[in-house]
Amino acid sequence: MGRFLNKGNEKFERFSRSRYYVDKTELINRLLERDETEKFICNSRARRFGKSVTANMLVAYFSKGAASEALFKPLKCVKDRLFMENMNHYDTIFADIQAVFVEARRSKEDPNEYLDKCFVGELKAAYPEIVSDRDVLEKALGKIYQATGSQFVIIFDEWDYPIRELEPQHTERTDYVEFLRGLFKSSDASEYIRLAYLTGIMPIVRTKGQSAVNNFIEYTMTNPGDLAQSIGFVEAEVRALCERFSVDFEQMKEWYNGYDLNNTAIYNPLSVVRAISGRRFQQYWTVTGTYGDIDDLINENYDGLREDIIRMLSGNRVTINISDGRNDLQTFQSKNEVLTALIHLGYFAYDADTREIYVPNKEIQEVFYQYMENNRDDNLSRFMNLSEKVFNAVIEEDGECTARLIQSIHNDFISALEYNNENSLACTIMIALIAAFTHYHKPVREFPCGKGFADIVYLPLSDHLGNPVIVVELKWDRSAKAAISQIKEKQYPESLEQYWGEVLLVGINYDKRTKKHLCVIERHIKNGYA
């Protein structure tokens, strides 16, 4: 048992003994069932989604250096017919690529030469009569397979670290890509490899439209395939944890739900576990990283990127063409490429059916609010200040001030091409009330209530139930009073007051001729009006 070759199961044992552990061993079943054409796997997910736990689970299962029967016996994967014959059966190479690169640099060694030296050194110790000091890794693996018939399982965690962190022309990066190419695309790779499993944040790197290792099948945040549930918590798992530890599931859902992977709701495990252990719902995910990922990307403002982000923060969705050309964080050339990267990084969720992206939950909303409040871009800071003023004006029932501020936002942040219909007006209102998300769910368009459908409804978060429901009715070339009348005639407040005490009625009209907004606000109190 070495550091890289045939590690034991100690790390996974610690994870599996945790009281918050969620059994993901069915991934093993899915990997075992794949045929010879499907044994090169890259399973990427956003930061802190549980990738390392999964990688260590695979090491514990496949490695000859572990004795894991007792460890896996209580878990799901034992039900699979292939379980026993494959457990602890393979020479297994595991490396955390980020840790290796950091270590090599501290030792003032070339990271790629260090990788090769470490791997070959341990193979030589295990197979001294087969491997020589002059062998590179792929040659050593090929010689062992030819001599023994023994195949290898290769698992790389944080495989994309050099791709994410280094410029495309950086020698360490280009050498690393060649290292991968030599290891996984050599003429003998399909013979000596039983399974290659890469996990990281970004999909396989592409250079001039070609993948450096195009024999890998990719499972990503935008296309997770049948491995959608293999990393991250599904809703049933989160609900079970909440029940076990007496935590409010609805609040957990508000804060951390929202990632849609192959029509499956996925939660970030780090945030869920910390919310349970700390008994507090707050932002946990980005505490482990920085705003650097988004700061540089957003400030470039490719093709109106900032405006799209503002739209998404307001509860709207944005259509996107997923980019597959550039999967690093340095060489963007379009808005689609930036937004695609932000999906992989976990800042946005993606609906593959509609090809739309959106802000998944309250935790990510807060990430962007903080970013915008602290951003050096004066336009973003000004917008957040305006939105806060709009929200306060609505709560204070100041229709005149609300109208004036909405008009300012409409003029400044909505394209003139979109400034001509009721849908544009609805988008404007949602953008103007971004600041409401501190206290409210995402707004609901065409909310069914009373005898019809309210244009926009804001429902208080479960920890802000003292706030009034906000019902917004929009008119185009009519009057704000007509909007209020419709709210009353359709009995929207009465249908909502059984769940919430007070309802704010907000009627807004836009006059196409004068370009003016008018707003009337009334408060409906249970069993009557104020």
Domain-wise residue ranges, the chain: 10-227, 233-282, 288-374, 379-529
Query: Cα–Cα distance between 258 and 438 in angstroms, integer?
Result: 17
Residues of the chain with pLDDT > 90, as a percent, come to 58
Q: What is the residue-averaged pLDDT of the chain?
A: 88
How far out from the chain centre does Cα 504 lie? 34
Calculate mean pLDDT across residues 216-233: 94
What share of the chain in percent tops pLDDT 70? Answer: 90
Confidence of residue 293 (pLDDT cuts 50, 70, 90): low
Q: How confident is the model at residue 500 (pLDDT cuts 50, 70, 90)?
A: low
Kindly state the average pLDDT of the residues 331-337. 82
Decide: 357 and 343 in contact? Cβ < 8 Å.
Answer: yes
Q: Is the pLDDT of residue 45 over 60?
A: yes
- How far, in Å, CA of 258 to CA of 266, rounded? 7
Q: Please tell me the predicted confidence (pLDDT) of residue 90.
A: 96
Residue closest to 506 by CA, chosen among 475, 477, 476, 528: 475
Q: From CA 252, how far away is CA 274, in angstroms rounded?
A: 11
Mean pLDDT of 455-482: 89
pTM equals 0.88
User: pLDDT tens digit string along 120-170?
Assistant: 999 999 999 999 989 999 999 999 999 999 999 999 999 999 988 888 888
321-345: b (≥16 Cβ within 10 Å) or e = ebbbebbbbeebeebbbbbbbbbbb
Return the CATH architecture of domain 10-227.
3-Layer(aba) Sandwich (3.40)
Q: Is 203 helix (H, G, I), strand (E, B) or coil?
A: coil
Place of tokens 């709210």: 487
Inter-axis angle of helices 249-256 and 362-374, nearest 10: 50
Angle at 529 between CA 528 and CA 530, to 5 degrees: 125
Count of Cβ atoms closer than 10 Å to residue 303 Cβ: 12
User: Does residue 12 carry a pLDDT above 60?
Assistant: yes
Query: How far, in Å, CA of 201 to CA of 221, rounded?
Result: 9
How does pLDDT run across 405-428, given as a tens digit for each residue? 998 888 776 665 455 566 778 888
Half-sphere exposure of 360 (CA within 13 A, CB side): 26
Residue 356: band (very low, low, confident or very high) from pLDDT cuts 50, 70, 90? very high
Return the pLDDT at 192: 95
Write the pLDDT tens digit of every residue in 426-463. 888 888 998 898 888 889 999 998 888 999 999 998 77
Worst-scoring range by mean pLDDT, 97-101, 207-211, 513-517, 524-528? 207-211
Task: Specify the pLDDT at position 246.
Answer: 97
Residues 6+ apart with CB under 8 A from 290: none
Per-residue DSSP letters for 379-425? HHHHHHHHHHHHHHHHHTT-HHHHHHHHHHHHHHHS-GGGTTSHHHH
Q: How many residues does the chain have?
A: 530
The predicted pLDDT at position 156 comes to: 98
Contacts with 187 (C-beta within 8 Å, 6 or more apart), sequence order: none
Alpha-carbon distance of 97 to 95, in angstroms, equals 6
Residue 103: partners with Cβ closer than 8 Å, 6 or more residues away: 114
- Residues 301 and 335: their CA atoms lie apart, in Å, by 8
Cα-based angle 332, 336, 340 (whole degrees, multiple of 5):
85
State residue 315's pLDDT score: 84
**15: pLDDT strictly greater than 90:** yes
E strand residue ranges, 425-484:
444-449, 452-458, 469-476
For residue 480, pLDDT beyond 80 = yes
Mean pLDDT of 292-317: 78
Separation of alpha carbons 430 and 439, rounded Å = 14
Cα angle 146, 150, 155 (rounded to 5 degrees) comes to 115
What pLDDT, in 10s, does the model give residues 181-207?
999 988 889 999 999 999 999 888 655
Residue 204 phi/psi, 5-degree rounding, is -55, 130
> Residue 206 corresponds to which amino acid?
R
What is the CATH topology of the domain spanning 379-529?
A: Trna Endonuclease; Chain: A, domain 1 (3.40.1350)
